[in-house]
A and B are shown apart, each in its own frame.
Chain A
Amino acid sequence: MAIHRHDNHKSANGFMEWMDARMPVTKVWNEHLAEYIAPKNFNFWYYFGSLAILVLVIQLVTGIFLTMHYKPDAALAFASVEYIMRDVPYGWLVRYMHSTGASAFFVVVYLHMFRGVIYGSHREPREMVWLIGCVIFVALMAEAFMGYLLPWGNMSYWGAQVIISLFDVIPFVGPALTEWIRGDFVISDATLNRFFAFHVILLPLILVALVFLHLVALHHVGSNNPDGIDIYDELDEDGKPKDGIPFHPYYTVKDLVGVCGFLILYMGVIFFFPDFGGIFLEKDNFAPANPLQTPPDIVPLWYFTPFYSILRASTTTLLTFFAYSSVVIGIAAALFTKFKAPIRIGFVAAGVIAAIVFLNSSGKAWGVILMAAAIVCFFLLPWLDRSPVKSIRYRSLPFKIALAIFILAFFILGYLGMNAPTPIKTLLAQVCTCIYFAFFVLMPWFTSIGKTKPLPTRVTMKEEH
């Protein structure tokens, strides 16, 4: 018998008693909301988790209503979107909520990830929370990319063309794989139809399941906080954290304030700047897909541009630089580490081999590898970060400087990805690509040097009682 007779969650009334004997409603409510203890010092940065769930719900709901009028057919798709915009009652509102929601999703998720990095939420024991979050990020990128093909505008078409062609560089199976993904020799009706299926069924299911797992893992280890210390180190006489408060009602109410602030901005965009100056809805996508005419400046939507910049920064110049620097890093590793002689010689050999590989391979393949590596780097963060403290409040200066440079490089890459390539801009993108990877490669070093500040025993807040 699977009934948990020893649960001491008190049912509110007779009906709930009947229910709780059959389904653990009160237990789940208490464990995840009313009695889920969260640190009391959550600040502004902690809005973005609940906001991400809000945007997910908005996307699911508006998506359902869009599918009632949208036609996933290469001959009809573009016109059906225009039909939603012009003839369907409030269709424009539902569609703008969905298109703005996509960008809002990435704004919220990028800020949520940044919060994790500055307060050390990716560190032990929350590695699984972070890893599942990274998978959510990848799934979200796939969801956004496939959704972007559906209006069948010219930028939709060519964006999909570029991204699907990335798989061409995989040795041996690449061309067959791209044909299988497209379902045709070119992007066509078959591609549109299957992207629709993935966008409205497969990926939403995966996203919801991953968000569920993200919360399961989070509630198992408990929330981090802006001080990066464990509130379970300081318990009161009942064995509860002195600095903890129940998530409900304290943080549900606090998050509602965040929701209000978010909705003001979100609705402001929907009503007054729905295309956000061509950033949320690109100009070239107001023309139907044309396989014979590439748009003059083909760019993905803003949330992909940092990675897109890395992709196109990969030319012979970058590979030559990588080749020389791998030799330098190999020699430096041999000179300044304390390993045995054969291992040190191995470092130099590895550097030389890497240099030979870089000099003799094509920029095209490396562009794809680097773009993928740029995302994989996030997965490795919990193990690259060696700082004795979690929160930026107590971290050493080298980490703060490195993070600031990285964020700057990330923004510059994002900006460059939105613009047509010129020799100067390509060079700048190459410099920023090097900074991007240097941040992750050098992280074990710069997080372990410098003087960290002493940790408090209790969480700190602006107004102490």
Chain B
Amino acid sequence: MAENHVSDASVQIADEKSVEDIKRRRFITGLTAGFGAVGGAVAVTPFVLSMSPSERAKNAGAPVQYDYSKIQNGQMVKVEWRGKPVVLLKRTPEMMEGLNIISDELADVGSEASIQPDYAKNDTRSDPAKPDLLVMEGVCTHLGCSPVEKLAIGPDPQMGDDSQGGFFCPCHGSKFDLAGRVYKNVPATTNMPVPPFKFVDNLIVIGEDDGRA
């Protein structure tokens, strides 16, 4: 067999070489293979990085504006920002009262583990200048579905009998109140995020707050 000839020959060669030579040979082989591996890793890099968001995708993340004076009491609109639905909800006084009634059933009342700007880290999760206006990414913190609004106060098949209004995620049944705060014992564990925003006259600018606190 051809293979046997090769292995016989290598045994013979090994016998003639000194131990020092074999050590050297192993070192050089290892070094070559090591450099080959580094070269391979370098070659893979551009392919891996080519899958990251492109410059065009990064530019598409610019702030959006909306005339919030058009929103009526109890009305909700959705604005698209970075491809995500941003909820603008002008809450009625009853809705605002409801937020306190169900606070025992919430998992993160103080929004400690949740994402929001400091000016929205309060019980209503809104800007103290306009507490009734909820500005929130309508994205479930479980797996990114868009929860359905259940604005009515009263019994609801999904929200329960004592519902004070809220949001229900149809994907996995997570429940949120009208400040986007998550209920206990549902798949999601943090409140829905509040994006940075600022007011300019009648306009709300979503995605930009000039670093205010």
Contact = CB atoms under 8 A, between A and B. Distances in A.
The answer to whether A binds B is yes
Contacts of A166: 143
Contacts of B171: 158, 162, 294, 298, 312
Interface stretch (A20-28, A55-63, A125-133, A183-191): A183-191
Interface in A302-347: 311-312, 314-317
Contact of B185 (A158, A165, A291, A317): A317
A311 B80 CA distance: 29
Contacts of A367: 187
A120 to B, nearest CB: 37
A362 B2 contact: no
B99 to A, nearest CB: 22
B24 interface: no
Contacts, number: 101
Interface in A219-274: none
B145 interface: yes
A330 to B, nearest CB: 25
A323 to B, nearest CB: 14
Interface in A170-192: 179-188, 190
Given A2-B2, A188-B83, A297 B170 contact: yes
A363 B51 CA distance: 30
B84 A291 contact: yes
Given A162-B143, A162-B145, A297-B170, A186 B84 contact: yes
Interface string A348-371: 000000000000001110010000
A316 B185 contact: yes
B58 to A, nearest CB: 9
A297 B57 CA distance: 30
A292 B57 contact: no
Contacts of A194: 51
A294 B142 CA distance: 14
A1 interface: yes
A420 B148 CA distance: 13
Contacts of A288: none
- Taking residues whose C-beta sits less than 8 angstroms from the other chain, chain A's interface range is 35 or more
Interface string B167-204: 00111110000000000111111000000000000000
B110 interface: no
A426 B173 contact: yes
A296 interface: yes
Given A2-B2, A312-B187, A314-B187, A291 B61 contact: no
Contact of A183 (B54, B169, B172): B54
B117 interface: no
Contacts of A185: 53, 57, 61, 82-84
B52 interface: yes
Contacts of B169: 294
Contacts of B185: 315-317
A298 B145 contact: yes
A363 B146 contact: no
B26 interface: no
Nearest to A294: B146
A302 B191 CA distance: 30
Of the listed residues B52, B53, B144, B184, the one surrounded by the most CB atoms of chain A closer than 10 A to its CB is B144
A184 B145 contact: no
A161 interface: yes
Interface in B84-110: 84-85
B25 interface: no
A132 to B, nearest CB: 25
Given A188-B83, A364-B187, A426-B173, A296 B145 contact: no
Contacts of B187: 312, 314-315, 363-364, 367
Nearest to A316: B185
A49 interface: no
B148 A296 contact: yes
Contacts of A294: 145-148, 169-171
A184 B157 CA distance: 36
B173 A162 contact: no
A204 interface: no
Contacts of A187: 83
Contacts of A190: 53-54, 57
Contacts of B186: 315
A295 B170 CA distance: 8
- The 8 A-B residue pairs with the shortest CB-CB distance, nearest first, are A186-B83, A421-B173, A294-B146, A312-B172, A165-B144, A165-B143, A362-B189, A292-B85
Interface of A: 1-2, 158, 161-162, 164-166, 168, 179-188, 190, 194, 291-298, 311-312, 314-317, 362-364, 367, 420-422, 426
